[in-house]
Structure 1
Amino acid sequence: MRKKVTVVGAGNVGANCALRIAGKELADVVLVDVVEGVPQGKGLDILESGPVEGYDVMVTGANSYEPTADSDIVIITAGFPRKPGMSRDDLLLANYEIVKSATEQVVKYSPNAILILVTNPLDAMCWVAQQVSKFSRNRVIGMAGVLDTARYRTFIAMELGVSVENITALVLGGHGDTMVPIVRLTTVGGIPITELLPQERIDALVQRTRDGGAEIVKYLKTGSAYYAPSAAAVEMAESILKDKKKVLPCAALLEGEYGYDGLYVGVPCKLGSNGIEKVYEVKLEEAEKAQLDKSAAAVKELIEVLKQKAGM
């Protein structure tokens, strides 16, 4: 019996998630979207790539949630993308309604699924999905740190002219301007980055990482990134579906770790068949903890707005 993954939202991120899942033969895929014909058309197009690419899974498009029944994983990408000049937080109330509605439908048809959230503002949308679904924290996970770390590693590799595969890095905190790349734990082939680059270059790379999403929005003008975000979400899904136990930075609901309770914050997590199987608490230096506190405070602020305006 093949695994089943539902992708909610057949836009650029969702369609690329479906394509990558099919290409890796991880599961059968159901692509769901409210726009009539779009998920059906894109689903069929991905399915017809199978004979050429050599993958053999079923890809289905739908406008309702009945075909998603009994999904193992549901990746929620639906929502309004950022436009130039918009912050992730501007999307808060618009995307709250979309994520709330999608989560209600998902829970109805797939009560045992693990949810991976991609919709921005990411950490707040994870909180919405968890509140609506009432799932335990191991089953509602946010995709942020994998993407932010990938950007950070890319920029370091470009700077040093080395393989991205040699770079080990960790980005903690909320998915936004307050994210916290941990420079102290960044290595290139085991060599600390501080031995390879001067502090001002490291600071510039950290800032470029924080602005990574906005940089792409600025280029595209009418949308936001989708190749790297979909790759990051599928890496998480693969670790869960194959029970790989990868340790990846994810937005997780903290229950006392790092001094926070009831907040979604990006931290290293072990992902296996049960979703989040362990949250790792890294010992942070004072300055790093101060940055993480600032990041967590930004997430808390959004949740307070949701509690007031959306009555959650």
Structure 2
Amino acid sequence: MKVAVIGAGAVGTAIAAKIVERNLADVVLVDVVPGLAEGKALDILHASPILGFTRTIRGTTELEACLWSELVVVACGRTRQPGMTREELLEQNAATIREVAATLRAYAPGATVLVVTNPLDVMTWLVAEVTGFPRKRVLGMAGVLDAARLRYLLGQELGVAPKDVSTLVLGSHGEQMLPLLGYTFVGGVPVKEKISQAQWDELVRKTREAGADIVRLLQKGSASYAPAVSVVEMVEAILLDQKRILVASVWCDGPYGIRGAYLGLPVLLGREGIEAIQELSLSQEELLCLQRTAKEIEGLFAKVASLRA
């Protein structure tokens, strides 16, 4: 199996390393900066005698190297700077993503594409538009990362291992994310039996602001490790046909009363990409929030389309 990772920044490099470390696939790492992807790939390979992985990785500046990849991870483009919103990245990253998507259409027509570039939902839509791939094969990394952050915070709040916390975070990857209290459990016990509404609201606030907090602390760059392992969890589900139920940014055309938007929803993820969207029972307030978010994302689609003119 072959996976192409487009972008050899901190996120892309960490994704590539994790894929080969887990022996999931051979990887080609692509970046426009001469020598960057090649150097990162060589550095990863030097760890193989210690970690024991047998998969190969090579770096290149040529997008055409993604030829016949089964899965492509798009992690290129600008990252947020302090004070910058994901939406402010839109114009800067749209041109890059268009070029990448056009190359994928020509050289990897059978690939499933997993988008990481921000603003996530809009860039995922743009890849789908330019490639013309079936929508089930174009998805974005969204709720897995957001849920991981909330699980960590809940574990800290309750003094339990975060791995024993489960939750779902729908909607947009960003400030409009929708954590679901009714689908959040600690060791199988509903979390609403363990914390107050005020505690929950504060944890949700911290989750929404987690990415911006990291950007502010780093001064340059943004989160990389947690996004990378979130992506690799999805990559593993696809390559190994695990039939995992994970939240991804996917094309919604009917479920939840939403038509014509990419946003984070729970899906059945396997070898064919998005195999089904899972419809949950939501409160009226949650459903309206999800629908409002979809409308706002649709507006960003129109903005991106206008940039082409």
For residue 159 of structure 1, what is the aligned residue in structure 2?
A: 157
Q: How many angstroms apart in 2 are the aligned matches of 1:37 and 1:88?
A: 28
CA shift digits 1:196-217 (9 cap, x unpaired): 0111111000111111111111
For residue 219 of structure 1, what is the aligned residue in structure 2?
A: 217
| Counterparts of residues 1-312 of structure 1 (less than 5 Å) | 3-311=1-309
Q: Does the 8 A contact of 1:170 with 1:182 survive in 2?
A: yes
Q: How many angstroms apart in 2 are the aligned matches of 1:291 and 1:180?
A: 8
Q: How many angstroms apart in 2 are the aligned matches of 1:111 and 1:308?
A: 26
Q: Does the 8 A contact of 1:83 with 1:221 survive in 2?
A: yes
Kindly report structure 1 stretches of 4+ aligned residues shifted beyond 3 Å: none
Q: How many angstroms apart in 2 are the aligned matches of 1:67 and 1:223?
A: 27
SS at match of 1:265: strand
State the AA in 1 paired with 2:207.
Answer: T
The TM-score normalised by the length of structure 2 is: 0.98
Q: How many angstroms apart in 2 are the aligned matches of 1:88 and 1:188?
A: 31
State the AA in 1 paired with 2:244.
Answer: K
CA-CA distance at 1:44 after TM superposition: 0.8
Structure 1 vs Structure 2 CA RMSD: 0.9
Q: How many angstroms apart in 2 are the aligned matches of 1:217 and 1:256?
A: 36
Q: Does the 8 A contact of 1:173 with 1:180 survive in 2?
A: yes
SS at match of 2:47: helix
Q: How many angstroms apart in 2 are the aligned matches of 1:236 and 1:275?
A: 10
CA-CA distance at 1:264 after TM superposition: 0.1
Unaligned runs of 5+ in 1: none
Q: How many angstroms apart in 2 are the aligned matches of 1:307 and 1:38?
A: 31
Matched residues, percent identical?
Answer: 42
CA-CA distance at 1:297 after TM superposition: 2.3
State the AA in 1 paired with 2:159.
Answer: G
CA-CA distance at 1:106 after TM superposition: 1.7
State the AA in 2 paired with 1:38.
Answer: L
Unaligned runs of 5+ in 2: none
Q: Does the 8 A contact of 2:260 with 2:298 survive in 1?
A: no
Higher mean C-alpha deviation, range 297-306 or range 107-116: 297-306
Q: Does the 8 A contact of 2:256 with 2:279 survive in 1?
A: yes
State the AA in 2 paired with 1:51.
Answer: P
Q: How many angstroms apart in 1 are the aligned matches of 2:275 and 2:172?
A: 20
The TM-score normalised by the length of structure 1 is: 0.97
CA shift digits 1:137-175 (9 cap, x unpaired): 110010011100111111101111111121110000011
